[in-house]
Every structure is written in structure tokens, then in C-alpha cells.
């Protein structure tokens, strides 16, 4: 088998493992939101269940890239899978013992697991891509991995709602744990043992990126994903279930369709943005994106069908957000050299996790205090900050 064939085989194995993990992660999130809403938890209390999940995601991304260069990306991916299995197993106990603190601890393990897995998969793309004409195909590979992951996460939302509806909470998380255990065994056998391990050991002090372009992208990513999660994590599903009185299957089905479509658009981003692969294009897209949530909030006040406006508006938001997110992920990898790609990707997704942490907390608080429109206005504010941080890219057409 040639080196190119081996690398392609490894890429497919990494992608398959990432897909399986993503389904369990999306399903678990939906299970937790809907189950604890059913138990009578307030939106803010539900948001706190994800606090450790997002916080430890920040920490994991900060050191995960460095760890990947030391022990290999295959090992960090497998550690992530094993921790997710433990997190799922922790939630199989009777719901009377599922206290807030206990669930937060299980979610902490899940947050570490998710970001170890994501960092490992995305950093592997550059290492497995043949050197010749690399940048011409890198956007396509990153977009396929990211887009398919998000589509599978959407499927996970639906799987979570369907499992909860059919089997209840405890049996649902047990099924997910067994599924991931099988996948862990397969990737452990099939992946190269030294994937991503560098010859020159990177110092721990270099976990913070010294590259201005990566730092700007990371800061913009913080606000970008905070702007999404401020309405998506708690506010939207609780609004659909509590105000519109949708069933578990309707809520999980809608969110699943949204995320699946979002992933499809991400996968098509290399074709849709064929001539727009620069930092300048990233600024233009986030500027457009900043206008949408506030526009939705205003339109909801001007119509007798606010739920329709919300759903249509979020579809438009999802399309633009998907294109911008795909371009962002590509630039972060393309602007990193091969020896530092794992550490730069880890730092970049540390900012991503930080934004999700802030967005998650604000999602519960803003919805409980200000309603769905308040969450949307905060989303617009965070996107304006992302545009401000991205403004230096306007003077540079730097692409890869």
C-alpha cells in the first residue's frame, strides 16, 4: 500500500471515529436538555449543567494540541473516546441520584472528551494530506470533515430525542456508551500509532500561539460561537418545548434538521466560496451575519406569527454561519505550519470552547430574564465584536 493510500485510509478511519463520537455527543446534549426540562429545571439551571462541559473544553483545547505532539493524535483521540464512554456510563444511574453537581461532573468528562476528539481529528487532516498542491485541497478536506461532523451532530440531536421518547434516559445513555465502545476498539486497531507525534518536542510554554493571524482568528472565533450558543443551547429548545408546546421529537427533529443542513452547507463551502478564501472574505461574512439575529428580533415584534419569523430567520442565519465557520476552520489550519498545526488548532479551538462557555451561560440567563428576543440581541452584539476583531483582515487579502 502506498503512502498516499495509507494516509487516505487513516483519514477515513479518523473521520469515521469522529462521526461516531459526534452522534453520541449530540444525542447526549439533547437528552440532558429535554430530560431536565421535563423534570422542571429552569433554563438557567439547565445551562449550568453544561458549565463544566464548556469550561473543561477550554482547558482541554489549550493543552490538547501540545499533548498531541507529545503522545500522538491517535492517542489523544482514543483518550477522548474512553472518557466519553465513562461520562455516559455515569449517567446510567437512577434519575433520583442525578444531582446538578453529579451531572456537571459527568459533563466535564464529556467536554474534555469532545475537544480531545475534535482537536485530534482536525489536526490530523493537515498531517495526512499529501504535500503536493496541498492548499488547493485542504479547504475541501476540512469542509467535508467539519460539515459531515455537524450533520452527524444533527442526527445525534434526533437520536437523543428519539431514544428519550422510546427508552427513557438511563437506557438511552447506555446504548450510546456501548456504541462508542465498539468504535473505540475498531479505531484502536486500525490507526497508525505515531500519528501526529513530532520529532522535535514542543515546549509547554508554546501552547499560546505567537502568530498574529491565528490570534485574530481565535478571538473572532470566541465571539462567533458565543453568538450561536447564546440562543441555540438552551433558549431555542426551551422556547420550542415550553412556549410553542412542541414534543421531544418535534424539538429534536427541528434542531437536527437545522444542524444537518448547516453541515451540508459547510461541506459545500469550498464550491460556494471558490473565489473567497481570504481573511477579507471572513470579515465580510461575519459582518453580514451580525445583522441577522437583531433583524429576527425586530421582525418578531412586527408580526402576529413570531415563531415563523424565528424559524425562517434561523435558517438564513445557519446558511451564513456555516459558510463563515467553514472558511474560518480552513484558515486556521492553512495558516499553520505542519510542526505547529496541532498546537495552533488546539489554541484556536480553545477560543471556540471559551465562546461556547460564555454563550451557554448567557443562553440560560438571557432567556430566563429577557426571553428569546433578548438572546437574539445578545447574539448580534457578540457578532459585532467578532467583526471588529476581524477588521484587520480587510486590508489583507491573504489566503492559502
Give the DSSP letter string of 293-358: HHHHHHHHHT-S-HHHHHHHHHHHHHHHHHHHHHHHHHHHHHTS-TTTHHHHHHHHHHHHHHHHHH
Predicted pLDDT of residue 198 = 52
Cell 480552513: give the residue. Answer: 330
Cell 430530560 belongs to residue:
35
CB 183 within 8 A of CB 315: no
346, 207 contact by CB (below 8 A): yes
In a domain, 311, yes or no: yes
Grid coordinates standing for 135? 492548499
* pLDDT per residue as tens digits for the range 290-347: 999 999 999 988 877 888 898 899 999 999 999 998 888 888 777 766 656 666 777 7
Q: Where does the pLDDT of residue 86 fall: very low under 50, low under 70, confident under 90, or very high at 90 and above? A: very high
Report the C-alpha gap between 174 and 358 in whole angstroms: 30
Determine phi and psi for 79, rounding to 5 degrees.
Answer: -60, -40
> Residue 157 belongs to what domain range?
3-187+208-395
Residue 352: the pLDDT is 83
Q: Each residue of 185-240: pLDDT tens digit?
A: 888 887 766 565 555 555 545 555 557 777 888 889 999 999 999 988 888 988 88
- 341-393 pLDDT, tens digit each: 666 777 777 888 889 889 988 988 899 899 999 999 999 999 999 999 988 87
Find the mean pLDDT for residues 64-90: 82
Residue reference for cell 474560518:
328
Residue 400's pLDDT is 45
In a domain, 202, yes or no: no
Q: Are 131 and 14 in contact (CB under 8 A)?
A: no
Q: How confident is the model at residue 137 (pLDDT cuts 50, 70, 90)?
A: low
**Structural domain count, the chain:** 1
The DSSP secondary structure of 283-299, one letter per residue, reads: HHHHHHHHHHHHHHHHH
Binning pLDDT at 50, 70 and 90, where does residue 282 land?
confident
- Between 23-32, 240-249, 345-354, the lowest mean confidence (pLDDT) is in 345-354
In a domain, 107, yes or no: yes
**29 located within any domain:** yes
For residue 399, give the 3-state DSSP assignment.
strand
In a domain, 198, yes or no: no
Q: What is the pLDDT of residue 134?
A: 55
Predicted local distance difference test score (pLDDT) of residue 132:
38
DSSP summary character for residue 202: P
Average pLDDT over residues 98-127: 82
Q: Which of these ranges, 9-18, 99-108, 197-206, 293-302, has the smallest mean pLDDT?
A: 197-206
DSSP 8-state symbol, 392: G
Q: Alpha-carbon torsion 139, 142, 144, 149, what sign? A: negative
In contact, 34 and 248? CB cutoff 8 Å: yes
Instruction: Give the integer Cα–Cα distance in Å for 69 and 64.
Output: 9
Determine, yes or no, domain membership for 199. Answer: no
C-alpha cell at 342: 496541532
230 vs 306: CA distance, rounded Å: 19
Per the domain annotation, does 203 fall within a domain? no
pLDDT digits (tens, 9 = 90+) for 143-195: 777 777 778 888 888 888 888 888 888 899 999 999 999 989 888 887 766 56
Q: How many CA atoms lie within 13 A of 225 on its CB side?
A: 23
Three-state SS at 40: coil
CA–CA gap between residue 3 and residue 130 (Å, rounded):
9
User: What sign for the dihedral angle of Cα 101, 357, 235, 92?
Assistant: negative
What is each CA distance from 288 to 45, 101, 387, in whole angstroms?
33, 40, 9
Specify the higher pLDDT residue, 26 or 128.
26
Least Cα distance to 262 among 147, 380, 379 occurs for: 147
Within the chain, residue ranges assigned H as helices are 3-38, 43-49, 51-71, 73-90, 100-128, 134-167, 169-190, 212-232, 235-238, 248-272, 279-301, 306-334, 341-390
Of 33, 12, 50, 58, nearest to 256 (Cα)? 33
pLDDT at residue 130 above 80? no
Instruction: Name the pTM for this structure.
Output: 0.73
Assigned domain for 146 exists = yes
For residue 382, give the CATH number of its domain: 1.20.1250.20
Indicate if the pLDDT at residue 277 is higher than 70.
no
Amino acid at each position: 500500500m502506498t503512502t498516499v493510500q495509507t494516509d487516505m485510509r487513516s483519514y477515513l478511519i479518523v473521520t469515521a471515529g469522529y462521526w461516531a463520537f459526534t452522534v453520541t455527543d449530540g444525542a447526549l446534549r439533547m437528552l440532558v436538555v429535554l430530560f431536565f426540562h421535563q423534570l422542571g429545571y429552569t433554563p438557567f439551571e439547565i445551562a449550568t449543567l453544561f458549565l463544566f462541559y464548556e469550561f473543561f473544553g477550554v482547558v482541554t483545547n489549550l493543552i490538547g494540541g501540545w499533548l498531541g505532539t507529545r503522545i500522538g493524535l491517535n492517542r489523544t483521540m482514543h483518550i477522548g473516546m474512553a472518557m466519553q464512554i465513562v461520562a455516559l456510563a455515569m449517567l446510567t444511574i437512577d434519575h433520583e441520584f442525578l444531582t446538578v453537581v453529579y451531572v456537571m461532573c459527568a459533563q466535564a468528562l464529556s467536554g474534555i472528551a469532545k475537544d480531545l476528539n475534535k482537536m485530534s481529528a482536525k489536526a490530523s487532516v493537515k498531517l495526512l494530506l499529501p504535500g503536493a498542491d496541498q492548499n488547493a485541497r485542504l479547504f475541501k478536506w476540512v469542509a467535508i470533515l467539519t460539515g459531515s461532523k455537524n450533520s452527524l451532530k444533527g442526527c445525534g440531536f434526533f437520536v437523543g430525542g428519539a431514544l428519550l421518547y422510546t427508552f427513557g434516559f438511563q437506557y438511552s445513555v447506555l446504548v450510546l456508551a456501548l456504541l462508542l465502545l465498539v468504535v473505540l476498539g475498531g479505531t484502536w486497531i486500525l490507526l497508525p500509532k505515531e500519528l501526529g507525534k513530532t520529532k522535535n518536542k514542543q515546549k509547554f510554554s508554546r501552547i499560546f500561539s505567537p502568530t498574529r493571524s491565528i490570534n485574530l482568528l481565535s478571538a473572532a472565533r470566541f465571539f462567533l460561537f458565543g453568538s450561536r450558543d447564546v440562543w441555540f443551547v438552551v433558549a431555542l429548545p426551551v422556547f420550542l418545548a415550553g412556549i410553542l408546546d412542541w414534543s421531544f421529537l418535534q424539538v429534536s427533529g427541528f434542531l437536527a434538521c437545522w444542524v444537518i443542513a448547516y453541515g451540508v452547507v459547510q461541506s459545500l463551502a469550498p464550491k460556494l466560496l471558490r473565489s473567497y478564501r481570504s481573511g477579507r472574505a471572513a470579515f465580510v461574512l461575519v459582518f453580514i451575519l451580525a445583522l441577522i439575529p437583531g433583524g429576527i428580533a425586530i421582525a418578531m415584534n412586527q408580526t402576529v406569527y413570531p415563531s415563523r419569523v424565528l424559524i425562517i430567520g434561523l435558517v438564513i442565519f445557519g446558511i451564513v454561519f456555516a459558510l463563515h465557520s467553514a472558511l474560518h476552520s480552513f484558515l486556521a489550519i492553512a495558516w499553520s505550519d505542519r510542526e505547529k498545526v496541532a498546537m495552533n488548532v488546539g489554541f484556536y479551538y480553545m477560543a471556540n470552547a471559551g465562546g461556547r462557555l460564555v454563550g451557554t451561560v448567557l443562553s440560560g440567563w438571557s432567556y430566563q430574564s429577557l426571553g428569546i428576543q433578548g438572546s437574539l440581541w445578545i447574539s448580534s452584539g457578540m457578532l459585532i465584536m467578532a467583526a471588529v476583531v476581524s477588521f484587520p483582515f480587510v486590508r489583507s487579502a491573504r489566503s492559502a
